[in-house]
Amino acid sequence: MFSFYHISLFLSVLVVSISKASSLPNWSLVLEEDFTSPYRVYVSVPTEETDGHRRGRIEELLKKHIAKRETNPDEELSVQYAMVDTSSDYFTKNFQAHTRADDPLPYPGLRLFNMENGEYMQPDWQILLADFNTEIERLVVNFETVASQTADIREDDDGVSVLHSKNMDVALLTTKHLLANFYAPWCQYSQAMAPIIAKANENLKEMQKQNLLAGLGIGIGKVDIDVERGLLQRHDIKQYPTLKFMDDDGSSRAYDGADTNAAQILSHLITTATGVADIKDEESTSAFVDRVKAIDAQFVAEGGQERSVVVLLVLGGETFDAKLDMAKKHMGRNAFVAVVQDQALAGNVLSEFGAKPTTDVALAPGALFIVTHSGTSVTAESPPYHAITTSDELYTWIFSASYPAVDRFDPTRASGQGYRMRSGPIKDVMILVADESSKDFESLKGSLASVAESKRAGAVYLFADKSEERLEGILSNAFEGSPGGPTYPCVVLFNLDQEYSAQTIVGADNITAEKIEGLFNDAKIAKQNDKGWGEL
């Protein structure tokens, strides 16, 4: 179970620095009226008459905690403690003031005050006596952290900016686009995200060093929610880790891309911050191409199959404005969007990525090109591709262009394929299942690839060896009622939302490009007949 506490301000004061103790820290247990340090911890305890045994136990644990802190050579703050009877006026005045009116006043209760600036912390959960030492230690450490914070921005050991309530606004003054990782130190998912964020930050700084991101003002930081309750509420953080884009106008929005590796995160951040690139000469062409290729090099280094997508729009024509509006909606989804001033430059950009326009579409004003993962280019007007006339259709093409036309079945978090299939816009999946050691396999895979290239956004195209155990559920549903179960080799087309019954082709002689493409028509008929096929 996780816990939170409030960090609030008595005074509306921006604190840039705090004073340190001039001598060795004075860790002590004093009477409440004898405080000399501005850093104070109040511990509520029952009276002797109410529960003397519990009071004595709390005092014993508190003294052990203080003794441990006194032996720490790294302590810089003088923190003093006082036990406050629950029957005292001080308890009523101070503890009730920081407790919701309908809540009980539990003990041991804790209030941590910095009298220099009015900051305080309080747990909003009841601390069990068995957990007292652990909780007070953690809270005091966090209290010291907040008390020591200034408007300066420091970096952790991985070079990631450490953000908090006193320097967040400063960070946004110097950074137009900031990706903030809101994390909890005790959360296993936050711990898994930490090295990914560190790698993304390392790659970002390398690109900045190479002057590939000039003028973009991009940064990456992290926020410890165990310390920063105020920022947690301000940015509506409900789970950990949470990645948020923060702009220099103070607004924030959720990161909605893949996050299984650093390249995915950095690509999403850069494409969001870039906006529409204006390619008007050789210099701007080189800057755009170099930026995209640098991101793709990171994807290659990660070992995954994902790549950036280039959406190229030639200036001019009656449909230009409508297409540009569509493209703008999908910046940040690994899509680098650019407007090219003339046809010659458009041809140069396409050639830089090993792509060329299809033979039946000229580089005319208003032409829209999507450079696919395989280096081919797709256009909105070019048959046999489905015409791109809506924003949703464009997103589907961008999404499909991020990956190979045909990929190995591997729905794990590490591959990102599972995320792609669950959250992406393409819900039809076509998979070839065969003996990969057979002499026919490459030919069968080639037939699937031919369909995948011609109907790129029609489905997620996969292949797998017949020994793949994770396909058992899919195949058992697809071949339900068939004597002896699945027959290999086979091609199966199914819908993740179960909109139609699975369609199959079996036998090497039947697995041709023409028959594979025919499965889409079969699926349409099955969908019209409203045939569900159970749980995957």
pLDDT of residue 513: 94
Q: Are residues 322 and 353 in the same domain?
A: yes
* Segment 20-49 mean pLDDT: 69
Burial of 150 (0-12, 13-18, 19+ CB in 10 A): middle
Q: Which of 123-137, 159-173, 431-445 has the lowest mean pLDDT?
A: 123-137
Which among 355, 376, 401 is the end of a domain?
401
Domain count, the chain: 4
CB 135 within 8 A of CB 127: yes
Q: Are residues 431 and 414 in the same domain?
A: yes
Q: Are residues 132 and 30 in the same domain?
A: yes
Q: What is the per-residue pLDDT across 58-114, written as a single tens digit (0 to 9) for each?
A: 888 888 888 887 776 555 677 888 888 877 777 776 665 555 555 445 566 777 888
Q: Are residues 416 and 514 in the same domain?
A: yes
Q: What CA–CA distance (Å, rounded) separates 341 from 358?
A: 20
pLDDT of residue 75: 57
- Sheet order of strands, 5-9 included: 5-9, 119-123, 109-114, 39-45, 79-85, 28-29
Quick one: CA torsion of 165, 166, 169, 173, rounded to 10 degrees? -150
For CA atoms 98, 100, 105, 108, give the dihedral sign: negative
* Segment 17-43 mean pLDDT: 61
What CATH number does the domain containing 480 carry? 3.40.30.10
Q: What CA–CA distance (Å, rounded) separates 512 from 73?
A: 75
Would you say residue 431 has pLDDT above 90?
yes
pLDDT of residue 14: 25
Contacts of 288 (CB under 8 A, 6+ apart): 277, 279, 336, 338, 349
Q: Please indicate whether residue 499 or residue 228 has the higher confidence score (pLDDT).
A: 499
On whether residue 228 sits in a domain, the answer given is: yes
Q: What CA–CA distance (Å, rounded) separates 189 from 183?
A: 9
* Segment 287-310 mean pLDDT: 87
Q: Are residues 462 and 522 in the same domain?
A: yes
* Segment 358-367 mean pLDDT: 66
Angle between helix axes 262-274 and 188-209 (nearest 10 degrees) is 60
Q: Are residues 19 and 133 in the same domain?
A: yes
What residues make up the domain containing 9? 5-148
Q: What CA–CA distance (Å, rounded) separates 505 from 493?
A: 9
Would you say residue 462 has pLDDT above 90?
yes
On whether residue 154 sits in a domain, the answer given is: no
Q: Please indicate whether residue 105 or residue 264 has the higher confidence score (pLDDT).
A: 264
